[in-house]
Amino acid sequence: MATVNLTKRQGRMPGYEYSAQILDGVTGPSIIVPPTGSEGARVTCTIIPGASTGKFQFTTSPDADVLADTAIWQDWPNGNTTSTFSDSLLAPVTAVRGVSVSGNIDIEVLV
């Protein structure tokens, strides 16, 4: 599985961002969450499924496991989502990824 990095935001709000479309039935790439100090980063995930269904997954596995594609992934507490929805993870994570359950979905991640 591929990994991607967040892009450093430009402008009024510091941080990082990522957006992508995930095709029908595909698990998107692992999106590496950068270290942001001892408290960890607040990660906000938005899913835009349109007429489709999707979800996010997150991991607290070590970076090496994410890169080796051996990380343990957990579904976000909101389960499969059929309408546009945002949620913030409360604890530090090493990576997140979007998953298309059916149809194409769009995702956005903000740190």
pLDDT at res. 8: 87
Q: Could you state, in order of their start, the residue ranges of all structural domains in the chain?
A: 3-110
pLDDT of residue 92: 85
pTM for this entry:
0.90
Tell me the fold of 3-110: Jelly Rolls (2.60.120)
Q: 35-60 pLDDT, tens per residue?
A: 765 556 689 999 999 999 999 999 99
Asked whether the predicted pLDDT for residue 93 surpasses 80, the reply is yes
Q: How far apart are CA 98 and CA 76, in angstroms?
A: 10
Q: What are the tens digits of pLDDT across the range 11-41?
A: 777 788 999 999 999 999 999 998 765 556 6
